[in-house]
Amino acid sequence: MASSPSSSCSCFFFFFFFVFLIHATFLTSIASGDDYQYLHLYLHERNLGAPNGTMVYAVELRRDTPYGNGFGNIIVFDNVLRETADPASLAIGREQGFGVGSSLAQNSGLTMLELVFTAGRYNGSSLSLFGTIRSTGGASERGIVGGSGRFRLARGYVLSRVVGGTNETLIWELDAYILRHHQ
């Protein structure tokens, strides 16, 4: 059975209406003062148990997993944000927050943290992140759920992956995709 010209016309109408609606929403976002921004940062952490560690257990129920992500463990951290992967590069802020070992099936944890900027263009501002991070294999994605200062009302996401380290340190590469609202 062939489709009638009126049903084909209706499909095209709804398709173009949908495309128009998406485009109008994007333009409204831009016109209302929102803008997109990309940040590339490096997080330098000192592992649990390392001298001058930047991560500590608040609760340690299980010791059977690396990096303290055992189910039920709670870790508090205060790590350095730098411009590059080089440990001698300029420190531009801190990653402060906590994580909870929240999976029985894999080595992962639920994190709640702030990227607090203490130097440079975003000094005095912060980004709030929430989401699951895996300590092994591939990139982890966490949502940006707010911020302060130049990142007030921010939303978006951050991809993080391990790019280096030693027995006592880990270096994470962070790619932040941010939608900011200007007031």
Question: What's the pLDDT tens digit per position in 75-113?
Answer: 899 999 999 999 999 999 999 999 888 877 777 788 999
137 and 60 in a single domain? The answer is yes
Is residue 141 located within the same domain as residue 156? yes
Domain assignment of residue 69, given as a range: 35-181
- Co-location of 50 and 27 in the same domain: no
Claim to verify: residue 22 and residue 41 sit in the same structural domain: no
| Same domain? 9 vs 53 | no
**Same domain membership, residue 2 and residue 59:** no
Residue 158's pLDDT is 97
CA–CA distance, 103 with 46 (Å, rounded to integer): 23
Please check whether residues 11 and 67 belong to one and the same domain.
Answer: no
* Alpha carbon distance 173, 162 (integer Å): 6
Residues 85 and 53 in one domain: yes
The mean predicted confidence, pLDDT, of the chain is 79
pLDDT value of position 30: 45
Q: What is the mean pLDDT of residues 111-124?
A: 96
What is the pTM for the complete model shown?
A: 0.75
Residue 26 shares a structural domain with residue 85? no
User: Are residue 102 and residue 115 in the same domain, yes or no?
Assistant: yes
Query: How many domains is the chain built from?
Result: 2
SS3 11: helix
Q: Are residues 19 and 94 in the same domain?
A: no
